[in-house]
Amino acid sequence: MQPVITAFDWVPDFARGQVRDLRVRWALEEVGQPYRVRYLAQGEQKAPPHRARQPFGQVPTYEEGELVLYESGAIVLHLADSRDGLLPDDRLGRARATEWAFAALNTVEPPIMDHAIATLFEADQPWSRPRLPAVEARIAERLGEVAARLGEREWYDGAFSAGDLLMVAVLRILRDHPLLAAQPTLAAYVARGEARPAFRRALADQLAGFTGSPPPGFAEWIAKRAARAEQLA
Ligand SMILES: N[C@@H](CCC(=O)N[C@@H](CS)C(=O)NCC(=O)O)C(=O)O
């Protein structure tokens, strides 16, 4: 039986190609595991049936037989552990790939999400603009550190791994931002990840899945929010 993941049938344009089911789709493609998708309309993620799968009311989830998993990192690591292709065979190599996966999710992603909160989710709040310089400085510091550790290597530790998959997925949140362009080796690392056939298939499939409609009142809500953000500028 094919595993089933959850994904949204609609998100705003800025989120297309970034929703976290992409990481899971990418891992599934890398290991050659066919899968099915249960699409959720906006709002459905907070209803009891999905909450039973995902306590925070978010996507993605992963169901395989009696296993129901949430957290994209845990799902990617489960796929890497249970199939060939995303973790080296040796114990120490597996530990290093896991280290890079946690570095991505635990150390690099939080300041990048702070940036998304300040510029998107809470862009209309008075605290966001004053906070931005500090958030950007923290991201710049982290990117410099990641670039220093990666050096000139193609991937973190030999062959492409689940750690690289998650690090690229996190860094590409900044794909159009000058902060990433300021680190050419990282920008090239992201481009290498995005050039992988498995990534391209995963991205195309995520984009093709947005066949739904925005929730009622979305256009009015976004316009009001933009007007408030404009006033604060
Ligand atoms: N740490 C979680 C984060 C999941 C997450 O933030 N999901 C977002 C989409 S990328 C979501 O479902 N947001 C909708 C909501 O919170 O209502 C993971 O990596 O799986």
Predicted pLDDT of residue 233: 74
210 plus 188 within the same structural domain: no
Report yes or no on 57 lying in a domain: yes
Give, using CA atoms, the residue closest to atom 9 of ligand 1: 19
Report yes or no on 223 lying in a domain: no
Is the shortest distance between the CB of 59 and ligand 1 below 6 Å?
Answer: yes
What pLDDT is stored for residue 173 in this prediction? 97
To the question of pTM greater than 0.85 for the whole model, the response is yes
To test ligand 1's pocket by mutation, which of 25, 40, 44, 59 has the most ligand atoms within 8 angstroms of CB?
59
CA distance 149 to 89: 23
Ligand 1 atom at shortest distance from the alpha carbon of 58: 12
Q: From the alpha carbon of 46, which atom of ligand 1 is closest?
A: 17
Tokens 């300041």 belong to residue: 111
Residue 6 has pLDDT above 90, yes or no: yes
CB 57 near ligand 1, within 6 Å: yes
Residue 42 above 80 pLDDT? yes
Question: What distances in angstroms separate CA 197 from CA 25, 87, 171, 193, one per listed residue?
Answer: 12, 18, 18, 9
Q: Are residues 58 and 137 in the same domain?
A: no
CATH code for the domain of 134: 1.20.1050.10
Strand ranges in the chain using DSSP code E only, listed in sequence order: 4-8, 36-40, 61-64, 67-70
Q: Do both 173 and 123 map to the same domain?
A: yes
In tens, the pLDDT along 141-154 reads 999 999 999 999 99
Per the structure, the complete domain to which residue 68 belongs is given by: 4-85+199-214
Q: What is the pLDDT of residues 188-216, one digit of tens each?
A: 999 999 999 999 999 999 999 999 999 98
- In a domain, residue 222? The reply is no
Is residue 130 located within the same domain as residue 206?
Answer: no
What integer pLDDT is reported at residue 224 of this predicted model? Answer: 85
CA of 20 to the centre of ligand 1 (A): 7
Q: Domain count of the chain?
A: 2
d(CA 146, CA 102): 13
